[in-house]
A and B are shown apart, each in its own frame.
Chain A
Amino acid sequence: AQRVTQPEKLLSVFKGAPVELKCNYSYSGSPELFWYVQYSRQRLQLLLRHISRESIKGFTADLNKGETSFHLKKPFAQEEDSAMYYCALSGEAAGNKLTFGGGTRVLVKP
């Protein structure tokens, strides 16, 4: 079974401070991990995929297979980073459904 856990429902940080969103997963095969972001009143949009190893909007995430984690980090949070962040996993089954974590709301205070 696929499972994704985001232990923090809410993270509140000041502008310029580092932010780290935790994501742990459970999957027996070779997963693909994603971070999706949902800004206020907007659709879910892809932020990062682990296989692309990019840094988007200053965010990075590294897949740690030993710890089954895919934490999202940004060294200096900006007010425009305030949003809902979802970690998601895609397995190897034909349909490649996404299994989502519960989401973390990030609030960046001025």
Chain B
Amino acid sequence: EPEVTQTPSHQVTQMGQEVILRCVPISNHLYFYWYRQILGQKVEFLVSFYNNEISEKSEIFDDQFSVERPDGSNFTLKIRSTKLEDSAMYFCASRGTSGRGTQYFGPGTRLLVL
């Protein structure tokens, strides 16, 4: 059964550094999402992406964040200048074309900003 994959599984970075989190969605899916979960808190929506553009973003998704689908298979989340409060688990998800359908999640990347 196809799955969403994410790399790396863990990343440690210094405050102010740029990080890129990578996701490979399920191959025939067209809708892509990033969520994050700060330790002990809810899973929060960051951004949704369809047809090579952002369809919705949350207040969290400020100018420090960007998303890209550079090559038709990968879907990346970039944080330009990380802050301590960006430490969280970041989940990628993808969805097929039918209606509001099920979102399928990757295993997550645990980001620690020191």
List A residues at the B interface (Cβ < 8 Å): 32, 34, 36, 42-46, 49, 86, 88, 90, 92-103
Contact = CB atoms under 8 A, between A and B. Distances in A.
22 contacts: A43-B3, A43-B91, A43-B105, A44-B91, A46-B103, A49-B102, A86-B43, A88-B43, A92-B100, A94-B55, A94-B56, A95-B31, A95-B48, A95-B56, A96-B48, A97-B33, A97-B45, A97-B48, A98-B43, A100-B42, A100-B43, A100-B44
A4 B52 CA distance: 29
Interface residues on B, range: 20 to 34
A38 to B, nearest CB: 9
Contacts of B101: 96
B23 to A, nearest CB: 12
Given A95-B56, A99-B45, A34 B106 contact: no
A43 B36 CA distance: 13
A95 B50 contact: yes
Nearest to B40: A102
Given A34-B102, A95-B48, A96-B31, A102 B107 contact: no
Contact of A45 (B33, B42, B45, B105): B105
Contacts of A49: 102
Given A45-B105, A100-B43, A101-B42, A95 B55 contact: yes
Contacts of A96: 31, 48, 95, 100-101
Contacts of B43: 44, 86, 88, 98, 100, 103
B100 to A, nearest CB: 5
